[in-house]
Amino acid sequence: MPWTQESMARDIVYFDLETQRTANDVGGWQNKHQMGMSIGCTYSSKTGQYHIYTESTVQDLITQLRRADLVIGFNHISFDYGVLMGYYAFDLKEELQSLDLMADIETKVGHRLKLESLASATLGAGKTADGLEAIRWWQQGKLAEIAEYCCYDVKVTKCIHEYGAEHGHVKYLDRNQREQTVVVNWTTT
């Protein structure tokens, strides 16, 4: 890993959240702030710990993100920060230092990739569920299942980032399920 003593002192926070409602439930993607967070999960490089947040502790999540030196996620700038706008008056996109892996890769390959596509090709492991299943779990009161799924996505995002930082590329499956490679510059030093 290209981690230096200096970068180890920094707090890199990997982040994901799940919602209570779909875009259709709130009248479209422009209303992400009305989707409501069911569970949020972070991993802090400084503490080496995962943290799980519920809607009642969303302000603690926002505080952790604001204190981070860098927030890393997958489509978190557009989606997750948009959801958090329902709980926070300021624009997290402008306020936080962020690396959005999906957005970065999209600029290189010309279209959006799914986390599943990257995880399968780069790590040899896929996701455990999807966002719609997490919403069904919310409706059924299955918070533990949502938390496990959300933390797993954070772990996958962290592992993909670390792989890309170390190797200078990540792999993905294209639309024809062929493995492709994309060059990335994700070192955090």
| Average model confidence (pLDDT) across the chain | 91
Where are the chain's structural domains? 5-102+129-155
- pLDDT tens digits for range 95-151: 999 999 999 999 999 999 999 889 989 998 766 566 678 889 998 999 999 999 999
pLDDT at 187: 84
Can you tell me which residue has the tokens 């990257």? 118
5-102+129-155 is a CATH 3.40.605.10 domain = no
Backbone torsions φ then ψ of 25, nearest 5 degrees: -65, -30
